[in-house]
Amino acid sequence: MAEAHQAVGFQFTVRPDGVDFKLSQEVIKNIYLSGVTAWKKKAIQFKNGVLAGVYPASPSSWLIVVIAMMSSLYLHIDLSLGMMDAIKENLPYRDCMSVQTRAVLSAILFATGLWLFLIYLLRYTLKALLSYHGWIFESHGKMSTSTKVWLCLVKMFSGRRPLLYSFQASLPRLPVPSVDDTIHRYLESVRPLLDNEQYNKMELLASDFKENKAAQLQRCLILKSWWATNYVSDWWEEYIYLRGRSPIMVNSNFYIMDLLYVTPTHRQAARAGNVVHAMLQYRRKLERGELAPLRALGTVPMCSTQMERMFNTTRIPGIETDFVQHLTDRKHLVVFHKGRFFQVWLYTGGRHLLPSELETQFQRILNDTSEPQPGELKLAALTAGYRVPWAQARIKYFSQGINKVSLDAIESAAFFLTLDDEPQGYDPAKTNSLDSYAKSLLHGKCYDRWFDKSFTLISYPNGKMGVNVEHSWADAPIVGHMWEYILATDCFHLGYTEEGHCKGDVNKNLPHPTRLQWQIPNECQNVIETSYLSAKQIADDVDFHGYLFAEFGKGLIKKCRTSPDAFIQLALQLAQFRDQRVFCLTYESSMTRMFRDGRTETVRSCTSEAVAFVRAMEDAGATNAQRLALFRKAAEKHQNMYRLAMTGSGIDRHLFCLYIVSKYLGVDSPFLTKVLSEPWKLSTSQTPQQQLNLVDINKFPKYVCGGGGFGPVADDGYGVSYIIVGENLITFHISSKFSSPDTDSYRFGQHIQKAMLDIQALFKSENDKTAQNAKYVHLENGKKHI
């Protein structure tokens, strides 16, 4: 009962002579320290906000400008060209001031105005420089003189030691492509997928749209691009994610795996303690804006907006549309274990709980033998099922009383943690270990992850971890950035004792985790069961196959003087054709974070050049030299498409926004309707690695992450996520549906593996031929010499 006594800040007794107060010194001390920490945090946030607000200048530069203006007064040099005199004559209450006071005040005001002008001048100069994207279209390893000059100017205007949000105001806006360019690229992308009759019909639809309706829609879109910071992102979040009424489990959420080969400790509570503590450290840096912004080429900044909602965020269900609730300064965590929900406070005495203290709290939950309350076991299935029943149940059963209090605790938590009871992870000795691990992260039991939270951290009994991520608030690279920091901090900074426990003293006086209380009526339990059954049907239909391609990796591909991404995408096209005997519309995600509030754009990987290469690979009469020439042409085309997408000249986001405008204006467009209804039977994505470079994977090759994946987008298609890990490994995460007779994830994985090896064989054949020719020339030269 010691914890209960410490939880009470004061006690009082009413007596005839008054009220007798008894204060707890320990609690008062904790309250004081919490207050000091809160004010310190606000001060740091204010300081960093000022630093980011005046970037690329600094507050000290204001003092320099003021001193320069003040010096001009004493040197009788008017650097303001008469403006300081004008300010001096128009100061309010100037009759109450001495001449010297007015002169000093006018100099300070002019200096401040000049300083602000220079800040905006630097900022807009940097924005103009960042609007140049010619560098991205240059061949790898070959940089033009103009690009070198541009890079020097960007570095010069970027300032020193930028904070996370320092570049936000300097990022250019996403440009609106011309309708002619977008339609031309669209027709080019569908040409290899349509026969002549179908293509002619599509051309007529496109021509009719361009001549009659496009101009009005384009004008509205350009107007929005002037007004909003990004003409795509808000509509993309709302209409692609939040307005969807189908389950987000599998269909929207994605997952990220733990380290493949290393498990720092096999103690579940200890591993969770270190990882949660590392997350709190990351959150503190994030809230203070102290993380370094991600920069391409080490110079070109990327937008950091998506990172703002990483913690303290929940997707709230609605009848017609959901919304994303983001809170600040959340100090607790909700933990799920064997059907029970626990609330764990993350602070004590104004500081984060230490890893050893978190381990103690999680071990207490693991040791708890209490049973779930009626309806509690599968409660989280509401977040896995259809959105409308969940929204209705939330209004009817969770809007008051203890149910509301408990639901608020979950939705306002920093994030959600599941202490799973079944071990998972990659095991080379087990054939399907990666498949089971992925399915556990993607959907689990359908009721042991809170799929609405920004992310659910999952801890397994064998010490493995993973993350399930809600997709509306951010894309995979954002969570990947956090996850890299967590794994590096866990393994190389926090560490464990020889027994596998967290380092540090054990504090047994912490208040125990508290059970969340529920009163769930039978009617609500029926809704929960219905959601669970619908979610389970989706989960059981996921056919997943994951495998590690270790025959070669990025290192060998780059020696072939081609892009690793283009290499893999062409291998996927070859595998797709061998699997289905037809080509299909292919989605590859690229990022547009070089622009303010940028998210993603689509690269349509199935090009005419890719089709020609695949047909040559399947043509027994084609020579390797012909196939290799077609491969290089297709790879160059893919790279160009990817670059266009990254620089705001993609196809699909523009057409998507034109479609949204048409719906607002009540304009019917058969062309846009046709475009937006086309199925993506092959959906692909590359998850970036080594964004932070905190771990040298050449020195520590075993400390590599398995990457992540997502569910199939089409009922009769594949979802493929691939991760280029270091120089010698590529991981593939392949998903499809058992209910489709045309797909098989394992079979498709075999096709990918063979396609990768077949393409590599083309280069090997070329290299062998080159070496043989060189040897022949050497011999001929030797004969001539003799």
**Residue 201: is its pLDDT beyond 90?**
yes
Q: Which CATH number covers residue 754? A: 3.30.559.10
In the prediction, which pLDDT does 118 show?
87
For residue 527, what are its two tokens?
């809704």
pLDDT of residue 248: 97
What average pLDDT is seen over the chain?
A: 90
Q: Is the pLDDT of residue 120 over 90?
A: no
Is the pLDDT at 103 greater than 70? The verdict is yes
Tell me the pLDDT tens digit for each residue of 203-229: 999 999 999 999 999 999 999 999 999
Residue 375 lies in a domain: yes
Which of 649, 655, 685 minimizes the C-alpha distance to 134?
A: 649
Q: Could you give the residue ranges of the DSSP H alpha helices within 647-785?
A: 652-665, 670-676, 745-785
Residue 302 scores a pLDDT above 90? yes
Residue 169 falls inside a structural domain: no
Q: What is the pTM of this model?
A: 0.89
One-letter amino acid identity for 180?
A: D
Strand partners, 342: 335, 515
Q: Please state, for a pLDDT cut of 90, what percent of the chain lies above it.
A: 72
Let me know whether 224 and 284 are in one domain: no
The CA–CA distances, whole Å, from 542 to 336, 386, 600, 764 equal 24, 17, 25, 37
Asked whether the predicted pLDDT for residue 4 surpasses 50, the reply is no
Q: CA–CA separation, 359 vs 10, rounded Å?
A: 29
| Residue 299's CATH number | 3.30.559.70
Q: How far is CA 680 from CA 15, 402, 645, 743, in A?
A: 76, 45, 17, 14
Tell me if residue 390 falls in helix, strand or coil: helix
Count of other CB atoms within 10 angstroms of residue 650: 25
Beta strands in 513-599 (DSSP E): 514-515, 542-549, 586-591
Specify the pLDDT at position 786: 44
Residue 148 has pLDDT above 70, yes or no: yes
pLDDT at 684 over 50: yes
602 and 569 share one domain: yes
Name every residue whose Cβ is closer than 8 Å to that of residue 411 and which is 6 or more positions away in sequence: 314, 316, 325, 452, 453
Mean pLDDT over 179-185 rounds to: 97
Can you tell me the distance from the alpha carbon of 110 to that of 103, in angstroms, rounded to the nearest whole number?
11
SS (H, E, C) 765-776: HHHHHHHHHHHH
Model confidence at 537, in pLDDT bands (50, 70, 90)? very high
The DSSP element (H or E) to which 49 belongs, if any, is helix 25-54
Please tell me what DSSP assigns to residue 94: G
Same domain? 48 vs 74 = no
From the number of C-beta atoms within 10 Å of its C-beta (0-12, 13-18, 19+), residue 159 rates as middle
Which of 541, 562, 581 is the last residue in one of the domains?
Answer: 541
User: Residue 343's beta-bridge partner residues?
Assistant: 334, 514
Q: What is the DSSP letter of 703?
A: -
Q: Is the pLDDT of residue 18 over 60?
A: no
More confident residue, 66 or 633: 633
- Domain annotation covers residue 144: no
Q: For residues 745 and 763, is the Cβ–Cβ distance under 8 A?
A: no
Which range (102-116, 422-436, 743-757) has the least confidence? Answer: 102-116
Q: What is the pLDDT of residues 698-744, one digit of tens each?
A: 889 899 999 999 999 999 999 999 999 989 999 999 999 999 999 99
Comparison of pLDDT for 163 and 280, the residue scoring more: 280
Answer yes or no: is 779 within a domain: no
Bigger pLDDT: 88 vs 707: 707
Alpha carbon dihedral 371, 374, 376, 378, in 10-degree steps, equals 110
Please give the structure tokens belonging to residue 675. Answer: 């475009």
Instruction: Look up residue 160 and give its two tokens.
Output: 């020193």
Distance CA 242, CA 245 (A): 8
What pLDDT sits at residue 692? 83
Give dist(CA 398, CA 382) in Å, integer. 12
pLDDT tens-digit map of 313-325: 999 999 999 999 9
CA–CA gap between residue 556 and residue 562 (Å, rounded) = 10
What whole-number distance in Å separates Cα of residue 83 and Cα of residue 106?
9
In this prediction, residues 454-475 reach a mean pLDDT of: 97
Kindly give the pairing relationship between strand 416-419 and strand 332-337. parallel
Rounded to 5°, angle at Cα 313 from 227 and 319: 75
Half-sphere exposure of 288 (CA within 13 A, CB side): 17
- pLDDT reading at 16 higher than 60: no
User: Is there a contact between 383 and 423 (Cβ–Cβ < 8 Å)?
Assistant: no
343: pLDDT strictly greater than 90:
yes
Could you say which of 277, 337, 443, 471 is catalytic? 471
**Does the residue 528 lie in any domain?**
yes
Q: Which of 82-96, 148-162, 289-303 has the lowest mean pLDDT?
A: 82-96
Number of domains in the chain: 4
Are 346 and 429 contained in the same domain? yes
Picking from 508, 541, 574, the residue at the C-terminal end of a domain is 541
Confidence of residue 6 (pLDDT cuts 50, 70, 90): very low
Name the helix (H) or strand (E) containing 296. Answer: strand 295-296
Does residue 102 contact residue 90 with C-beta atoms inside 8 Å?
Answer: no
Tell me: do 596 and 712 sit in the same domain: yes
Is the CB of residue 354 less than 8 Å from the CB of residue 499?
no
Collect all residues with Cβ–Cβ distance below 8 Å to 572 and sequence separation of at least 6: 586, 605, 682, 684, 720, 752, 755
Average pLDDT (503-510) is 86
DSSP per-residue letters across 650-664: -SHHHHHHHHHHHHH
Q: Give 350-399 pLDDT, tens digit per residue.
A: 889 999 999 999 999 999 999 999 999 999 999 999 999 999 999 999 99
DSSP state of 754: H
The whole-number pLDDT of residue 172 equals: 95
For the CA atoms of the chain, what is the radius of gyration?
30
Instruction: For residues 129-149, give the mean pLDDT.
Output: 87
> What is d(CA 650, CA 599) in angstroms, rounded to the nearest whole number?
13
Residue 3, pLDDT score:
38
User: Between 445 and 30, whose confidence is greater?
Assistant: 445
**Residue 471 is a catalytic residue:** yes
CB atoms within 10 A of CB 459: 25
Angle CA 575–580–584, to nearest 5: 80
Predicted confidence at residue 142, as pLDDT, reads 80
The answer to which of 21-25, 198-202, 392-396, 461-465 has the lowest mean pLDDT is 21-25
CA dist., res. 309 & res. 295, Å (int): 20
Are 556 and 623 in a shared domain? yes
Q: How far is CA 616 from CA 80, 169, 190, 530, 627, in A?
A: 72, 49, 20, 51, 6
pLDDT confidence of residue 25: 62
Let me know whether 412 and 492 are in one domain. Answer: yes
Q: How far apart are CA 783 and CA 786, in angstroms?
A: 5
If asked whether residues 706 and 574 sit together in one domain, one would say yes
In a domain, 17, yes or no: yes
Could you read off the pLDDT of 226-250 as tens digits, one per residue? 999 999 999 999 999 999 999 999 9
The DSSP result for 398-422, as a single string, is: SSSHHHHHHHHHHHTSS-EEEE-SS
Does residue 23 register a pLDDT over 70?
no
pLDDT band at 416 (very low <50, low <70, confident <90, very high): very high
Same domain membership, residue 512 and residue 492: yes
Binned at pLDDT 50, 70 and 90, residue 767 comes out as: low
pLDDT tier at 7, thresholds 50, 70, 90: very low
> What is the C-alpha separation between 17 and 20, in angstroms, rounded?
9
For residue 24, what pLDDT is reported?
Answer: 59
Q: Which residue has the higher pLDDT, 3 or 179?
A: 179
Q: Are residues 743 and 657 in the same domain?
A: yes
Which domain range does residue 92 map to?
56-131+151-158
**Is residue 64's pLDDT more than 60?**
yes
For residue 778, is it within any domain? no
- Residue 8's pLDDT is 44
Does residue 163 lie in a domain region?
no
Q: Do residue 481 and residue 550 come from a single domain?
A: no
Q: Which residues contact 188 (CB under 8 A, 6 or more apart)?
A: 607, 608
The confidence score (pLDDT) of residue 115 equals 86
pLDDT at 443: 97
Q: What is the pLDDT of residue 312?
A: 96
| Confidence check: pLDDT of 600 > 80 | yes
Residue closest to 682 by CA, chosen among 547, 552, 568, 549: 568
pLDDT (average), residues 763-767: 76
Tokens of 178: 């011309």
Residue 21's CB: how many other CB atoms inside 10 A? 9
Contact of 688 with 600, CB cutoff 8 Å: no
CA-to-CA distance for 261 and 702, rounded, in angstroms? 6
Of 490, 519, 541, the position where a domain reaches its end is: 541
User: What's the mean pLDDT in 574-591?
Assistant: 96
Co-location of 263 and 393 in the same domain? yes
